[in-house]
Structure 1
Amino acid sequence: MQLALDLPHRQSFRGEDFFIASSNAAAVALMDRWPDWPSHSLAIVGPAACGKSHLAAVWRARSNADMVTAEEVGARSRLMLRPHPAVIVEDADQALKEGRLDPVDLFHLYNWMREREGFLLLSGRVAPAQWDVTLPDLRSRLLATPIANIEAPDDDLLAALMVKRLSDRQLHADPKLVDYVIPRIERSFAAMEKTVAALDAASLARKKPITLPLARAVLSDLSFL
């Protein structure tokens, strides 16, 4: 028996590949105000797989921002020579909760960016007010940070995203198949991503294109049904 390999695929993060809908239009509008960010900071908030990383990547290309891991926040030497730096820290809420991001270091990063008239973009699944932070000064900074909130998607957005994700994996998405799948899965970004991955794996294992019978079989096996 030949095993299906979990081959890597490249997800496109071009600006034109980001779909604007009612669930994310307000977040996009806030992002587009850059560099007119009065607080010089912004937090993108939304559920898993909602497009936070995509928006951050688009802003990174516009602002020439540095993508900094949670562990790198305390080591800012590579940013020191930039007069007006822009920095992105993704999944900051999880990093704080897991102890990978030191609250004191994040507080100093806030101050350091403001002193240099730079810009700080954070992302998380919940609003900064809910982050695991007890340091009063940092909590004050977080509460003052504007929020670009991404809401739960509607069916039209999920369908468009499903077509894109399948295309990222070099798979053809028949519109009738997408119309069949979307009403039968949980209305969430994560469920759509899970479905696309399962369709890809099944297609590869059977060496067949994605068809309606294949989609039916895949959906019957997924745990959220």
Structure 2
Amino acid sequence: MSQIALPLEHSPPPDRGGYLVTPANAEVHRHLQQWRDWAHHTLILTGPAASGKTTMASAFAQETGGLVVDDACESEELEIFHLWNRANDERKPLLLVSALPVAQWEVSLPDLQSRLAASLHLEIGPPDQPMIDGLLQKYFAIRGLTISEDALRYLEKRMVRSYAMVRQLAQKMDALAIESKKPINLAIAKSALGTFDAGDEKVEV
């Protein structure tokens, strides 16, 4: 997987299969690459909204041909049970993705409980600064835009560090830039963050 060159003022972290890799998710990325070593051929991946779980799972499925279940906590228990057994019988990796940790899945089947408990569990941590910068840059690069260095540094010191906040701020700055017909600069960043500080927008963290 090669790094994608983006027209940015500040170099982003490496892009792997459509997602950025920084210390915030490096352990998850490493284990996805080393799927042959998974305990019972199963990995349970959890993390907050907008943290890239689905994108990572999609890239994993394309590269390995493994089994992937998104929103696994909402799936039928028997389905997960049979997929877990299939993964072990066929020695084919199974990736279960959920926003909730397994302890909150309310699994009633004892056999499934024991299988999930024996599987590898990983959680994507909060976004670090390289991840925040990279996500903002990537968001605007896709639209043929850039975000200025001083705007990034301003947000770095003041924004709530969550994936949801990154997404909502990017969307707000995009809308303000279109409305004002200006680039994504410091003024746009201040205005966008101000709407959240003033309580005009709800931040889903």
TM-score past 0.5 threshold: yes
Amino acid aligned to 1:91: D
Task: Please state how far the C-alpha of 1:116 moved relative to its aligned partner.
Answer: 2.2
CA distance in 1, matches of 2:150, 2:77: 49
Amino acid aligned to 2:107: V
Equivalenced residue count is 185
- Select the residue among 60, 74, 89 that pairs with 2:69: 89
RMSD: 2.1
Partner SS state of residue 37, structure 2: coil
Q: Which residue of 2 aligns with 1:210?
A: 184
Please list every run of at least 4 consecutive aligned residues from structure 1 whose deviation after the TM superposition is greater than 4 angstroms.
none
Tell me if 1:104 matches 2:49.
no
- Contact kept in structure 2, 1:166 and 1:172, CA below 8 Å: yes
Tell me if 1:15 matches 2:16.
yes
Amino acid aligned to 1:27: V
Tell me if 1:186 matches 2:141.
no
Q: Give the TM-score normalised by structure 2.
A: 0.80
Q: Which residue of 2 aligns with 1:51?
A: 52
- Contact kept in structure 2, 1:40 and 1:114, CA below 8 Å: yes
CA distance in 2, matches of 1:31, 1:49: 18
Q: Deviations over 1:84-103 (max 9, x none)?
A: xx21111222x2xxxxx211
Partner SS state of residue 44, structure 1: strand
Q: Which residue of 2 aligns with 1:166?
A: 140
CA distance in 2, matches of 1:112, 1:34: 16
Tell me if 1:123 matches 2:97.
yes
Which runs of no fewer than 5 residues in structure 2 stay unpaired? 1-14
Which runs of no fewer than 5 residues in structure 1 stay unpaired? 1-13, 65-85, 96-100
- Contact kept in structure 2, 1:45 and 1:149, CA below 8 Å: yes
Partner SS state of residue 23, structure 2: coil
Task: Please state how far the C-alpha of 1:109 moved relative to its aligned partner.
Answer: 1.9
Task: Please state how far the C-alpha of 1:17 moved relative to its aligned partner.
Answer: 5.1
Task: Please state how far the C-alpha of 1:142 moved relative to its aligned partner.
Answer: 1.3
Q: Deviations over 1:179-203 (max 9, x none)?
A: 1122221011111111001111222
CA distance in 2, matches of 1:189, 1:165: 13
Partner SS state of residue 87, structure 2: helix
Identity %: 31
Q: Give the TM-score normalised by structure 1.
A: 0.74
- Contact kept in structure 2, 1:129 and 1:139, CA below 8 Å: no
